[in-house]
Amino acid sequence: MGNTQKTRYIFVTGGVISGLGKGITAASIGAVLKARGIKVSMQKLDVYLNVDAGLLNPREHGECFVTKDGAETDLDLGHYERFLDEEFTSDSSVMSGRILLNLINAERSGYFRGDDVQIVPHLTSEIEKYVMKAGEGSDIHIVEIGGTVGDIESDAFLEAVRQMALNHPGRCAFVHVVYVPYISTSKEFKTKPAQNSMRDLRGIGIMPDIVAVRAEGPLPDYVRDKISLFGGLPKEAVVMLPNADTVYRVPRTLYDSGIGWIFFKKFGMTPKEPAMAKWDKLIEAATTKYKDTVRIGVIAKYLDNEDTYLSVIEALRAAAWHNQVNLAFDWVDAEKIEKHGAGSLSQYDGLLVPGGFGSRGLEGMVACARYAMDNQLPYLGICLGMQMAVVAAARKAGLEDAISSEVQPGAKHPVIYIMAGQEGKESTGGTLRLGNYPCVIQKGSLAEKVYGSTDIIERHRHRYEVNQKYTEYYEKAGLSLSGKSPNGKLVEMIEHTNHPYFIGTQAHPEFKSRPDRPHVLFDGLVKAAIVRQQKSATA
């Protein structure tokens, strides 16, 4: 766009409660702007004192998303990539700890020449630098600020972005996402918590340009009137976001509300004609009830928080829509399979074993892989899921004590063993093999057929790898090592040579899947599941 020599910034804050869908709202604003021909970048500022998301417990924090350049980030980065269909980098995910660590290292190196180092201005201007860097080259840079306004941790970030609005007049806009609870006994929506949160934001010196109202159901007009009155902003600037049947409807809802014009006017931009057809097609694909349903068992070990497997499930859903079937997936508790055996898996048309860490539930995963192998049941093993398929194959070929050294350091037959240079780093942050790595696929393999190529790049997050010393055992059980690193040292993909679809990858293909363009490995699983189901229906 010719009239945007300088990047504009949209800051998205949240009020009332966490878990509002602020990430989806921010990503959807990005999607709508992109549909208008605007070059958009996105960034999450996380208030935790952690340096990155790598060591956070997935049970509490949900999935750890990995960028192509190997940053371990919050799951909101996944929303940004899926909604904008872009690959972002470590610049797009900043946690407090990372900024503080750099600041303190600078102080130790004498950089401040004896000055006091303070939250304002040192930390705040450091935050500004991170924001400016991530936004470089974009027309609009959207920054989501983690946490809830009023949290002690978010103060420095809010102060930094308030100052940015002063430093860059006319180039910063604010969106505040609030929650309006419904009280069923009095049948009323209550705006008081939202009013309080808008007041808190004003107290910090930030006046929102737009307030997005999240609620459990459709909101009556009086809610808009009250938010407008107490927030001191025009009614057109209050956008209602009741729960949607699919998250991919949110860009459409935002577009229809016309809020884009609030940004364009403020920023003095002339957008292109909107291209919303992609979103309408996606909404239709995601909400249609299809004739057939495939049943996929997802063998999981972190069952108390489904967000742990967010990108995996989004990839499975996208594959089902692409093949025009309904997806019915069950969480299968790996520990229950360990205790009660794998017999219950016969009800599924396909199995997916995702990534994970630690020893809990691993024997259950091995049992699932073995069941799929022996029963021609489609199987996709991702990272840990591939490693456990290798353990299952080695045991099937007679190496009964085959195991991963993640479970048994010093094991006699470590078919999965620690990568060179990783010893002793097992509990340290940022030390896994992370981000994009190439893989060369064997000609004539299932992997080649699925990818349609012999040279691929996928994102990684692992410390252990397949031990090629035992290749003869894997092959005896029918497994072939069908993808390797270019120097042949690391095994990247495995597959069963006498099976409709038994495939594993050391990487995390789910991160590159898109709602309208499912990753080929997930698409392959769903296609194989459909074939299996049709066969069993006619049997």
Q: Mind telling me the catalytic residues?
A: 383, 508, 510
CA atoms within 13 A on the CB side of 46: 23
Q: Assess 461 for contact with ligand GLN (CB under 6 A).
A: yes
Task: Compute the least distance from the CB of residue 475 to ligand GLN, in Å.
Answer: 22
For residues 261 to 300, the per-residue mask of contacts with ligand GLN, x marking binding by CB under 6 A and - elsewhere, is ----------------------------------------
- Judge contact between 135 and 127, C-beta under 8 A: no
- The set of residues, in sequence order, having a beta carbon less than 8 Å from that of 409 and lying 6+ positions away, is none
Residue closer to ligand GLN (CB basis): 8 or 461: 461
Question: Given candidates 355, 381, 483, 515, which one binds ligand GLN under the rule CB under 6 A?
Answer: 355
CA 211 to the chain's CA centroid? 25
Please say which residue, 140 or 507, places its beta carbon nearer to ligand GLN.
507
> Token pair for residue 163?
């100052």
Among the listed residues 179, 267, 279, 464, the single contact to ligand GLN using CB under 6 A: 464
How many residues interact with ligand GLN (rule CB under 6 A)?
10
Q: How far is CA 422 from CA 67, 262, 484, in A?
A: 21, 51, 19
Binder among 255, 357, 371, 417 for ligand GLN (CB under 6 A): 357
Q: Which stretch binds ligand GLN (CB under 6 A): 44-52, 134-142, 162-170, 460-468?
A: 460-468
Among 226, 462, 484, 519, binds ligand GLN (CB under 6 A): 462
507 contacts ligand GLN (rule: CB under 6 A):
no
Give the residue, chosen from 84, 145, 383, 403, that forms a contact with ligand GLN under the rule CB under 6 A. 383
Rounded Cα–Cα distance for residues 45 and 55 (Å): 17
Nearer to ligand GLN, 195 or 505 (CB): 505
Q: Which residue is nearest to ligand GLN (CB)?
A: 355
By CB under 6 A, is residue 406 in contact with ligand GLN? yes
Element (H, E) at 523: helix 520-538
Binding to ligand GLN, residues 94-153 (CB under 6 A): none
CA distance 212 to 286: 24
* 447 HSE (CA, 13 A, CB side): 27
- Compare residues 355 and 483 and give the one whose CB is closer to ligand GLN: 355
State phi, psi for 191 to the nearest 5 degrees: -95, -5
Between CA 127 and CA 133 the distance in angstroms is: 10
Type of residue at 247 = V
Looking at 331-339, 352-360, 362-370, 389-397, which segment touches ligand GLN (CB under 6 A)?
352-360
Q: CB–CB of 63/311 below 8 Å?
A: yes
Burial of 364: CB neighbours in 10 Å, binned 0-12, 13-18, 19+: buried
- 425 touches ligand GLN by CB under 6 A: no
Least Cα distance to 354 among 488, 472, 507 occurs for 507
Q: For residue 268, which of 12, 4, 31, 37 has the smallest C-alpha distance?
A: 4
Binding of residue 368 to ligand GLN (CB under 6 A):
no
Q: Which stretch binds ligand GLN (CB under 6 A): 83-91, 92-100, 111-119, 351-359?
A: 351-359
Which residues, other chains included, contact 186 with Cβ-Cβ below 8 Å and sequence gap of 6+? none
Among 463, 468, 500, 514, which residue interacts with ligand GLN (rule: CB under 6 A)? 463
Q: Which residues would be at the binding site for ligand GLN (CB under 6 A)?
A: 355-357, 383-384, 406, 461-464
